[in-house]
Amino acid sequence: MQAGELITTDQQGRSGSETDIQQAYSVLEDVMDPEVPVVSVMDLGIVRDVSWLDGHLYVVVTPTYSGCPATEYIETAIRDALQDAGFSRPKVSQRLAPAWTTDWITKQGRNRLKAYGIAPPVGSSSKRSLLSGITQVECPNCGSEDTEQLSEFGSTACKSLYRCKSCLEPFDYFKCI
């Protein structure tokens, strides 16, 4: 808890309605991931709850990777976007459990990743698929399944580096986690 949070209502504090929550969700649809600017925080499934408490809008997010440098940026972006939309001093808090999984990425999110040139996670994040490491990844550029992994880790911790043996293009694969 940070200083100031003990004050549970601010001057502009008011009660929220169902419409406010819906409006907040639609604002969040437009808060994009800074590294993959085509997927929103809603697409990534990191927004776990939006509620109204003591005159504030509360957003609960579950961080992706422990060390992801985008986490703090995203939290600020969420606060700014909500404030711009007229919510007074919105609050963002983190929830660690259950841990974020790529299974929460929406269908729209997966399609957007692919259109951006990043292969979306294949299959589920079950322990078996994580340990075996055998994944058939489809090339997001030409759709070929004749691809190979170049490196377990790609440009960020959430991605692996692959190469398509058909169109010869390298590409990022968003790993299952």
Partner 1 sequence: MTKYDELTEFLLRLGDSALIQAQRLCELTGRAPALEEEMGMMNVGLDLVGQARNWYEYAAERINDGTDADTLAFRRDERAFRNLLLVEQPNGDFAVTMTKQFFYDAWQFHLLTMLKGANDERIAAIAAKSLKEVTYHLRRSSQWVERLGDGTEESHQRMEKAVDVVWRFTFELVEKNGAELALSESGNIPALTELPEKWLATVNEVFAKATLTVPDAPSTFYLSARTGMHTEHLGMLLAEMQFLQRAYPDASW
Of 80 and 152, the one with the shorter C-beta distance to partner 1 is: 152
Interacting residues with partner 1 (CB under 8 A)? 65-69, 96-101, 125, 127, 130-131, 133, 150-157, 161, 175, 177
Nearest approach, Cβ of residue 122 and partner 1 (Å) = 15
39-40-45-47 Cα dihedral, nearest 10 degrees: 160
Of 86 and 98, the one with the shorter C-beta distance to partner 1 is: 98
Residue found by looking up tokens 């940070």 in the block: 2
Nearest approach, Cβ of residue 12 and partner 1 (Å) = 29
Nearest approach, Cβ of residue 3 and partner 1 (Å) = 11
Both tokens of 112, joined, read 């957007």
Nearest approach, Cβ of residue 141 and partner 1 (Å) = 20
Nearest approach, Cβ of residue 103 and partner 1 (Å) = 11
Of 63 and 120, the one with the shorter C-beta distance to partner 1 is: 63
Q: Which of 35, 78, 33, 36 is nearest to 57 (CA)?
A: 78
A 10 A CB-CB count for 101 gives 16
Of 84 and 134, the one with the shorter C-beta distance to partner 1 is: 134
Q: How many CA atoms lie within 13 A of 170 on its CB side?
A: 8
The DSSP bridge pattern shows strands 147-151 and 159-164 to be: antiparallel
Of 113 and 158, the one with the shorter C-beta distance to partner 1 is: 158
Residue found by looking up tokens 């939290």 in the block: 75
Residue found by looking up tokens 């993959």 in the block: 36
Crossing angle of the two packed helices 70-84 and 18-28, in degrees rounded to 10:
130
